[in-house]
């Protein structure tokens, strides 16, 4: 495992309490401005009976979908976040990495009408999670990924995929560790989707209601 990947995974245990607080207290401006609503709308538009959320974190999306009467399952690499999810009443959450899911087909087996991943593809290897998600998506189901928008996040530097660092400084809570994450250009995302043998049905780019800037990239895929 690369040093960056190790540090990224570790940060979700070290920062679990701070992360849970910022999500539940609504302290992430882009989420308030539209990305929570965008992923909820994208899942609901599929009319699913069953949903798997991989990298589910403290479980907010699963609880919102369960309140709609959808049968939900969640997985996350951080046992602390899984505990926080379960303690908040999130049904059927399991501590599992993407590698665990890929190599243990019986875990969160499915198939699910929707398999969703909300801001949780943070590694240079997205083929492992995409293969694990693909294997659990029903034949006529949907695989949804919401991620950082390549244009909005690229900043002033070169437009090039690579590791970056999130300090969480803008969230107004103290995080013990910064988090390495892998920034991808648009062409890199599209190449990864093709490589994973997924069909990209459409792309959404939710916009900030005031600035008109993109808040996220939302990839809607099927397996055939």
Ligand X SMILES: C[S@@+](CC[C@H](N)C(=O)[O-])C[C@H]1O[C@@H](n2cnc3c(N)ncnc32)[C@H](O)[C@@H]1O
Per CB under 6 A, residues contacting ligand X are: 9, 12, 23, 55-57, 60-61, 76-78, 81, 97-98, 118-120, 122
CB of 27 to ligand X, least distance (A): 12
Q: Give 9's contacts (C-beta < 8 A, 6+ positions apart).
A: 1, 77, 78, 97
119 vs 171 by CB, closer to ligand X: 119
Quickly count: other Cβ atoms within 10 Å of residue 172's Cβ. Answer: 11
Q: Residue 54: which of 30, 27, 71, 72 has the closest Cα?
A: 72
81 vs 223 by CB, closer to ligand X: 81
140 vs 172 by CB, closer to ligand X: 172
CB of 116 to ligand X, least distance (A): 8
Contact between 122 and 8 (Cβ < 8 Å): yes
Contact between 22 and 118 (Cβ < 8 Å): no
Q: Residue 129: which of 183, 81, 75 has the closest Cα?
A: 75
CB of 197 to ligand X, least distance (A): 20
84 vs 193 by CB, closer to ligand X: 84
57 vs 141 by CB, closer to ligand X: 57
CB of 54 to ligand X, least distance (A): 6
118 vs 224 by CB, closer to ligand X: 118
Residue nearest ligand X by beta-carbon distance: 57
CA pair distance 28, 73, nearest whole angstrom: 24
Per residue, what are the HEC states of 69-137?
Answer: CCEEEEEECCHHHHHHHHHCCCCCEEECCHHHHHHCCCCCCCCEEEEEEECCCCCCCCHHHHHHHHHHE
CA pair distance 189, 219, nearest whole angstrom: 9
CB of 224 to ligand X, least distance (A): 25
């Amino acid at each position: 495992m690369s040093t960056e990947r190790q540090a990224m995974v570790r940060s979700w245990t070290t920062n679990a309490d701070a992360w849970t607080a910022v999500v539940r207290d609504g302290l992430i401006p882009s989420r308030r401005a539209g990305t929570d609503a965008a992923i909820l709308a994208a899942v609901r538009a599929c009319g699913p009976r069953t949903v798997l959320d991989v990298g589910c974190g403290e479980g907010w999306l699963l609880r919102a979908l369960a309140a709609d009467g959808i049968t939900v399952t969640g997985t996350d690499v951080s046992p602390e976040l899984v505990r926080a999810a379960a303690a908040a009443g999130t049904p059927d959450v399991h501590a599992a990495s993407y590698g665990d899911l890929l190599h243990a087909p019986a875990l969160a087996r499915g198939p699910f009408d929707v398999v969703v991943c909300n801001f949780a593809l943070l590694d240079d290897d997205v083929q492992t999670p995409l293969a694990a998600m693909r294997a659990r998506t029903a034949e006529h189901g949907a695989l949804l990924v919401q991620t950082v928008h390549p244009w909005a996040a690229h900043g002033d530097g070169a437009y090039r995929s690579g590791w970056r660092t999130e300090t969480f400084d803008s969230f107004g809570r103290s995080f013990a560790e910064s988090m390495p994450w892998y920034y991808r250009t648009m062409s890199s995302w599209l190449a990864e989707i093709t490589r994973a043998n997924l069909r990209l049905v459409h792309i959404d780019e939710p916009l900030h209601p005031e600035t008109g800037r993109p808040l996220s990239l939302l990839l809607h895929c099927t397996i055939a």
